[in-house]
Copies of this chain bind each other. A is one copy, B any other.
Amino acid sequence: MSITPTYISSVHANEFLAALPANELNRLRPHLKLVYLQSQQVLCELGDTPTYVYFPITAIVSLLHISEAGETSEAAVVGNDGVVDLSLFMGAKTAPHQTIVQASGQAFQLPGHIAREEFNRGGALLGLLLHYTQALMAQMAETVGFTRHRSLQQCLCRRLEQSLERHDNNEIEMTHEMLGQLLGVRRETVSAAAFKLQQAGVIRYRRGHIAVLDRQLLADMASVDEMKRTKAPARAFQLLTA
Contacts and interface: CB of A to CB of B under 8 A. Distances in A.
How many copies altogether? 2
A96 interface: yes
Contacts of A74: 144
11 contacts: A71-B145, A71-B148, A73-B149, A74-B144, A87-B134, A90-B134, A92-B134, A137-B137, A140-B140, A144-B147, A144-B184
A127 B89 CA distance: 9
Contacts of A69: 149
Interface of A: 63, 65-69, 71, 73-75, 86-87, 89-92, 96-97, 122, 127, 130-131, 133-138, 140-145, 147-149, 183-185, 223
Given A96-B138, A134-B92, A137-B137, A73 B148 contact: yes
Contact of A184 (B137, B145, B183): B145
Given A134-B96, A137-B140, A140-B137, A91 B145 contact: no
Nearest to A185: B148
The 10 closest A-B pairs by CB, nearest first: A96-B138, A148-B184, A90-B134, A75-B141, A65-B141, A71-B149, A140-B140, A147-B147, A91-B131, A122-B122
